[in-house]
Amino acid sequence: MEHQQPEPWIWWKHGVIYHIYPRSFMDSNGDGVGDIQGIISKLNYLSDLGVDGIWLSPVFLSPMVDFGYDVSDYREIDPVYGTMDDFKMLIDKAHGLGIRVISDMILNHTSDQHPWFLESMASKENPKRNWYIWKDGNKSGPPNNWKTTVGGSAWELDETTGQYYCHSFFKEQPDLNWRNPALSEAFFTEVKFWLDIGVDGFRLDVINFIVKDKKFRNNPYFFGIPVFQRHIFTRNRPKSHKIVRELRKLVDQYDNRVIVGEIYTLPPGNSKIAASYLSNGSGMHMAFDFSLIFRHWSARKYYECINDGYRYIPEKGWPCNVLSNHDLFRSIDRFPWRHNKVEKAKVAAALLLTLKGTPFIYYGEEIGMRNAKIKYRDIQDPLGKRFWPFFSGRDKARTPMQWNSGKNTGFTAGNPWLPVNADALKRNVENQEKDKNSILNFYRMLIKIHKSHIALQQGRWVPLIAGQHGILAFARIHNEERIVVVLNFTGRKKRIFLAEHNFGCVLFSTHRKYEEIFYFQNLWIFPFEVSVYKA
Ligand code: NOJ
């Protein structure tokens, strides 16, 4: 095997990134909503955890119909989160600790209160009319059959001008018209504004939605059933790749910046489509495909999904891995059965932190935060309000970060915007810091190992046991450094034979002692064991 020159360390590629939902992380001023100063006060916690970057869900000025994913000014910080000075302070202090800051960036839509949309609404002749997608209706109503992701038609009638505008989400989130060069130029200026301020990159919200069919053709249906629309003409249009490549060119004018995009597909978890946005090194640096999130708890299924995903990553692309986010359920509660949840969460975390690709941790995942039970009167998420009682919305994975056993779990001195989880008295950072077997210390240890082993950061991924009998084992190899990871997805003891490697020295294990040596030829694996060896 040819000797690989190690790449210089690239923070977004070789580091670990932590996703913060700012409303819920830490409140500094007692208004019950998390804010930027709150995040600053917890930077030491993040530094001790060992993360190299944070991604903040949006903190721009917003009417908060969709809690910041409806932006009314891309150059302002919403007062609920603080000021521009707070944001700059966050960047400075985070950088001082070696932590980069990724901002969300929402290209698909703005708020209906954004001045661009107010102008666009004003008249058909307004110069900004075509910055959004306007269309005459047909005889029976909206221009075509396009549906939103939140239920109902994607078209809203504007009584004044008699035309419809397109919105992929709520009607308060009109879609921008990326076929209009004037809009793309204006938007890129907003992006540049943040690059100049010093953000280290962007997470691109539903970036595969941004271009719609030029001919406004009707979408077909899955199985001919109108509720299941196949978004052929509303997502992944070829031009969306082109726009991402233009954005990449802009970002590349600055040092060490990153773009990572959310690629939401139906059914979810389409690695092939996600990887297409990497454009072999000239598109996004990474794409969330969510494939692991939608997998059943089975070593075999996880293996297939991981292996499949890697096949699509182009030579100059890079994978990223994620277990949960602010739109989905808490990962620990997706694992089946009520027992052994923490053990399963540790197996999943070990996978996240040893696979090839950048790990993204969703706040609270590192202490095993659970889905909250949200009562109707407490629902904040517009999706929950709309679909109750069939779907209670996304609030259950957005409850306050559980810091300690004090009032409101240390999150706020006021009334939290969402109730604190019932288990916060027990399950919190302060308690877990004291417990050497806690999931928090498990994350810390594995992040440390990730940081100190080039094979885990840059190495090839070589599957050794492809999920048979509930075991997933693989090696990460970079020149002489070989790390072997063995994970038991089951609650039963198993025996393994690894022909490729003779023995390994324990770097980290849930069941074995540090630096003990084991032969891989006939090794008993304990229930839900996680072991990482140097081989
Ligand atoms: C995806 C975001 O993650 C979600 O929270 C938001 O509601 C939609 N995009 C619309 O921006």
Residue 330 within a domain: yes
Cα 183 to ligand 1 centroid, rounded to whole Å: 21
CA distances from 493 to 226, 261, 345, 439 (A): 48, 40, 18, 22
- Ligand 1, atom 8, lies closest to the CA of 69
pLDDT at 223: 85
Fill in the DSSP letter of residue 323.
S
pLDDT at 464: 97
Ligand 1 atom nearest to 394, measured from its CA: 5
Based on the residue annotation, tell me whether 262 is a catalytic residue of this protein.
Answer: yes
**In the Cβ-directed half-sphere of 412, how many Cα atoms lie within 13 Å?**
22
Instruction: Inform me whether the pLDDT recorded for 192 exceeds 70.
Output: yes
Ligand 1 neighbours (beta carbon < 6 A):
66, 69, 106, 169, 205-206, 262, 326-327
> Cα–Cα–Cα angle for 206, 212, 218, nearest 5°?
120
Cα 280 to ligand 1 centroid, rounded to whole Å: 26
Residue 171 within a domain: no
For the beta sheet containing 201-204, the strands, ordered from the edge strand earlier in sequence to the opposite edge, are 286-288, 258-262, 201-204, 100-105, 53-56, 17-20, 358-362, 320-322
Nearest to 395 by CA among 410, 413, 376: 376
Q: Looking at the structure, do residues 416 and 487 belong to the same domain, yes or no? A: no
CATH code of the domain in which 312 resides = 3.20.20.80
Residue 304 within a domain: yes
Cα 472 to ligand 1 centroid, rounded to whole Å: 33
Q: Does the N-terminal peptide bond of residue 58 adopt cis geometry, omega within 30 degrees of 0?
A: no
Instruction: Inform me whether the pLDDT recorded for 36 exceeds 70.
Output: yes
Compute the average pLDDT of residues 161-175: 98
Please answer whether residues 18 and 46 qualify as being in contact, where contact means their C-beta atoms are separated by less than 8 angstroms.
yes
Please answer whether residues 52 and 104 qualify as being in contact, where contact means their C-beta atoms are separated by less than 8 angstroms.
no
State the Cα–Cα distance between residues 395 and 377, nearest whole angstrom.
Answer: 12
Residue 149 within a domain: no
State the Cα–Cα distance between residues 131 and 111, nearest whole angstrom.
Answer: 13
Please answer whether residues 55 and 360 qualify as being in contact, where contact means their C-beta atoms are separated by less than 8 angstroms.
yes
Quote the pTM value. Answer: 0.98
Please answer whether residues 146 and 153 qualify as being in contact, where contact means their C-beta atoms are separated by less than 8 angstroms.
yes
Which of 20, 21, 66, 204 gets mutated to test ligand 1 (max ligand atoms within 8 A of its CB)? 66
Chain segment 393-434, per-residue pLDDT in tens: 999 999 999 999 999 999 999 999 999 999 999 999 999 999
CATH code of the domain in which 489 resides = 2.60.40.1180
pLDDT at 5: 86
Q: Looking at the structure, do residues 355 and 494 belong to the same domain, yes or no? A: no
**In the Cβ-directed half-sphere of 509, how many Cα atoms lie within 13 Å?**
25
Instruction: Inform me whether the pLDDT recorded for 247 exceeds 80.
Output: yes
Which of 169, 360, 396 gets mutated to test ligand 1 (max ligand atoms within 8 A of its CB)? 169
Domain count, the chain: 2
For residue 163, the one-letter residue type is Q
Which of 67, 167, 206 gets mutated to test ligand 1 (max ligand atoms within 8 A of its CB)? 206
Cα 483 to ligand 1 centroid, rounded to whole Å: 37
Chain segment 443-480, per-residue pLDDT in tens: 999 999 999 999 999 999 999 999 999 999 999 999 99
pLDDT at 2: 65
- Ligand 1, atom 10, lies closest to the CA of 69
Residue 475 within a domain: yes
Q: Looking at the structure, do residues 371 and 510 belong to the same domain, yes or no? A: no
State the Cα–Cα distance between residues 445 and 92, nearest whole angstrom.
Answer: 27
pLDDT tier, 65 (very low <50, low <70, confident <90, very high otherwise): very high
Nearest to 427 by CA among 374, 346, 372, 368: 368
Which of 262, 289, 365, 395 is an active site residue? 262
Structure tokens at 122: 């004003």
Q: Looking at the structure, do residues 474 and 441 belong to the same domain, yes or no? A: no
User: Which residue is listed with tokens 């001045």?
Assistant: 115
| Beta-sheet pairing, 523-525 with 494-496 | antiparallel
Q: Give me the percent of the chain exceeding a pLDDT of 70.
A: 100
Q: Looking at the structure, do residues 419 and 508 belong to the same domain, yes or no? A: no
Chain segment 288-297, per-residue pLDDT in tens: 999 999 899 9
Nearest to 325 by CA among 5, 15, 21, 7: 21
| Beta-sheet pairing, 358-362 with 320-322 | parallel
Cα 143 to ligand 1 centroid, rounded to whole Å: 25
Which of 205, 343, 381, 395 is an active site residue? 205
Decide which of 395, 419, 447 is a domain's last residue.
447
pLDDT at 416: 98
Q: Give me the percent of the chain exceeding a pLDDT of 90.
A: 94
Round the average pLDDT of the chain to a whole number and report it. 96
Q: How far is CA 333 from the centre of its chain?
A: 17
Instruction: Inform me whether the pLDDT recorded for 390 exceeds 80.
Output: yes
Instruction: Inform me whether the pLDDT recorded for 1 exceeds 70.
Output: no
Decide which of 385, 415, 447 is a domain's last residue.
447
CA distances from 439 to 272, 323, 426 (A): 33, 15, 13
Domain range holding 487? 460-534
State the Cα–Cα distance between residues 535 and 533, nearest whole angstrom.
Answer: 6
Q: Looking at the structure, do residues 259 and 400 belong to the same domain, yes or no? A: yes
pLDDT at 140: 85
